[in-house]
Every structure is written in C-alpha cells, then in structure tokens.
Amino acid sequence: MTRRERLRRCFAYEDLDRPAVYSRTGFPADDPTYDRLRALLREKTELMGGWSSQAVQPPHPTETHTEPHTDDWDRRLTTLRTPSGDLTSTYLVSRKGQPGLHETFLIDGPEDAERYLSLPVPPVGGDVSAFFAAEAEMGDAGITQVHLGFNPAGFVAETCGSETFAILSISHRYLLHALCQRYMEALLARVDFLVAQGVGPHFSMLGEEYLVPPLHGRDDFYDFNVRYDKPIIARIHEAGGRIHIHSHGSVRTVFDGFLEMGADVLHPIEPPPLGDITAAQAKDLARGHLCLDGNLQIHRMYEATPDQIRTEVDALIADAFDDGRGLIVSPSASPYIRGEGEHCYPAYEAMVETVLACSR
C-alpha cells in the first residue's frame, strides 16, 4: 500500500495495513538543527502537503506599517478600509524569533462588526494550476490538502479576538451570526469554484477550537461551529471530497458535533491535562465514522525517552486501531523549540519506527 493510498483510506475510514504516521511541519524558521528530522519525515512518514485556496479568493487588501515598541518587540499596525469606516488591529512581532502576539483586533465591538459587514464578499476566481503541480510533486508519498483556512466561527473569532467574541455572543449575538453567515457564503463559493476546476478531493479547515470548552459551551459549539460548518462540509462530500479538521482543546463534550458537521479526520485528540479525552474514549465515539489524527502531546517529543514514546505509541495503537481503521499517529503540533531539533529527533524516530513495525 502506498503512503498516498494509506491516507486516502484513513480519510475514508477504510481498512488499513497499519496506521498512518505523520507530523505537522511548521518548523522554526532557518533552524538547521531540524534538518535530520525533516529528512526522516520526508522519507518514512505519510505526507500531508498543503495548498492554500486563498489564492482564488484573496481577502480584502489592508495597509500595514511597523513601529518600534520595546527592546524585544515591534508593533505591526494593520488598517482595513471599509465603506463604513476604517478598522485597525495591532500585533506584536518578536525581534528574537519568538512567536508573535495579538494585541488588538479589527473588530472590538458592535460598531466595528457593522463596519466589517459593509464590505462586499470577496470574489472567487483565478489560476489553480499550482495545486495540480503540488499533487504531481507529491506523487505516492502522500496527499495535498486544499487548505480552506479558518471555518466561519474561527475566522470571526480571529477577527475580533476570543474575549470580544464571547462578549458579543451575549450582547449582540445576531452580529456574530451575520459575520459567520457572510463567511460561510464566501467559503461555499470558493468550494464550488474549486470543485468545478477539479481541485481536491482532500480538504482541511481549522478554527473550531475557538468555540470549545471552557470559553464556550456545547450550545455555542453547535450554534456557531456545527451550524455554519455543516453546509460547507456537505458541499465537499457531495463532490466526493473529504475534510480534515484541526481543533485543539477539550472536545469530549462536543465530539458528537464534529460527527454531525461531517468531519472525516480530527486532529489532535488531546488527553488530560491539555485536553479532556483519551484515545480509547475518542475511538468509541468516532468508530466507523471519523479518523483520529493524534494523540501524542508535542511536549513529550522533547521530554520523553525513545522507549517511553514507543510505549505511548503502542498504547495508542491498542486503544484506537483495534478495528484496523481510522488512525493517524502524530504529535499534537509541529516541532517548535528553536535549536532543539537534534534533541527531539530520537523521540520522533521512535514514533515513526514503532508505527512502521505495526502490521496486520
């Protein structure tokens, strides 16, 4: 079975000869300590490459400039001009290669939401040849996922920040629904265009994690995630496609919502203390419907010994692969600690080799 076929079967919940094994690859930039790990993943794991579909539906143009903030940070200001007035956000950019930090958001209240809604929905069109080039380059090593980016609720939460989203969900819920509806319609138009061009069949989306406990409860998850994701996923399924959903957090109490919206693969399935669901619990809920992608916590790849990783992978396979279907063994995030590529390499090697040794 080729690596590509194995992933296709994972997405379709079909019989496998062994679990797939994978890692996200958002490595620290310009860090050669990860070169050996990159080679290991490229040569021995199932690859899930990506092509951004934003190329056919670019967002509204913004204006940015950067100014000094502190010895460690610069501040990047972004302005979005709308028919009803300007919206501005600020973001702190590290001078030392560390992750950035949102400071303020484009939507900071109901008036800003109204301004954003005055924008027209971005049109769809353009050249998709880069997708087919990526697929050809990938070959039998894996698949090329069509990245849709944020789901409607995730996009809105990113635009206004989690705190403002939570407040508006109480004070001006109708505005959040209007924003989600607007973005859902944009994504539906994008999917229709992509499908008509023969792009697919593997899609991906993220952002559902903004509406999981403890910040939001089950009702909000259904009202904002399931309500607006389900039509998008249905459109993909109607075209014969499949979709991968990335959502951190405590998903146990809303797991049935992922099933109802139609998710085909869910990553990363986090156990306590960072999440609230074990692999065995997730398998019981997902069985026959949804492929699990996880559930090794990323910090374990830097802290655990190779033998400990082998034990954790064996336990994961025992808990989530008893039916010979629906499991992609992977860490919960990309390798992320600058300069520590060689330190985590033995753990990744142990993960990969343990999966490769598993056969039915």
CATH of the domain at 206: 3.20.20.210
Q: Are residues 175 and 78 in the same domain?
A: no
Q: Are residues 52 and 64 in the same domain?
A: no
Q: Are residues 95 and 128 in the same domain?
A: no
Give the residue among 342, 250, 351, 255 at the shortest CA–CA distance from 298. Answer: 351
- Domain membership flag for residue 127: yes
Q: Which two tokens stand for residue 259?
A: 């099933």
- C-alpha separations of 9 from 64, 142, 291, 318 in Å: 44, 12, 9, 19
Q: Are residues 277 and 187 in the same domain?
A: yes
- Domain membership flag for residue 297: yes
User: Which DSSP string do the residues of 298-342 spell out, in sequence order?
Assistant: TTHHHHS-HHHHHHHHHHHHHHH-TTS-SEEEEESS----TT-HH
Q: What are phi and psi of 64, to 5 degrees?
A: -130, 150
Q: Are residues 82 and 193 in the same domain?
A: no
Amino acid symbol at 63 = E
Q: Are residues 238 and 154 in the same domain?
A: yes
Give the pLDDT score at 97: 79
Phi-psi region of 286 (alpha: psi -120 to 50; beta: other; left: phi over 0): alpha
CA 1 – CA 55 distance, rounded (Å)? 33
- Domain membership flag for residue 117: no
- Domain membership flag for residue 33: yes
Q: Are residues 10 and 92 in the same domain?
A: no
Identify the helix (H) or strand (E) that includes residue 256: helix 255-261
Q: Are residues 183 and 137 in the same domain?
A: yes
Q: Are residues 70 and 162 in the same domain?
A: no
Pairing of strands 73-82, 85-94: antiparallel
Give the pLDDT score at 360: 66
Looking at residue 55, the DSSP 8-state letter turns out to be G
| Each residue's pLDDT expressed in tens, for the chain with a length of 360 residues | 999 999 999 999 999 999 999 999 999 989 999 999 999 999 999 999 999 999 999 999 999 999 999 999 999 999 999 999 999 999 999 998 788 999 999 999 999 999 999 999 999 999 999 999 999 999 999 999 999 999 999 999 999 999 999 999 999 999 999 999 999 999 999 999 999 999 999 999 999 999 999 989 999 999 999 999 999 999 999 999 999 999 999 999 999 999 999 999 999 999 999 899 999 999 999 999 999 999 999 999 999 999 999 999 999 999 999 999 999 999 999 999 999 999 999 999 999 999 999 976
Among 75, 108, 141, the domain boundary falls at 108
- Domain membership flag for residue 153: yes
Round the CA-based radius of gyration of the chain to a whole number and report it. Answer: 21
CA 298 – CA 308 distance, rounded (Å)? 14
Range of the domain at 276: 3-56+122-356
Q: Are residues 87 and 189 in the same domain?
A: no
Task: Outline where DSSP puts E strands in the chain.
Answer: 20-21, 47-52, 63-68, 73-82, 85-94, 101-104, 142-150, 202-206, 242-246, 265-267, 291-296, 327-331
Contacts of 223 (CB under 8 A, 6+ apart): none
CA atoms within 13 A on the CB side of 272: 2
Query: How many domains does the chain contain in total?
Result: 2
- Domain membership flag for residue 116: no
- Domain membership flag for residue 165: yes
Q: Of how many residues is the chain composed?
A: 360
CA 208 – CA 154 distance, rounded (Å)? 6
Q: Are residues 159 and 69 in the same domain?
A: no
- Domain membership flag for residue 114: no
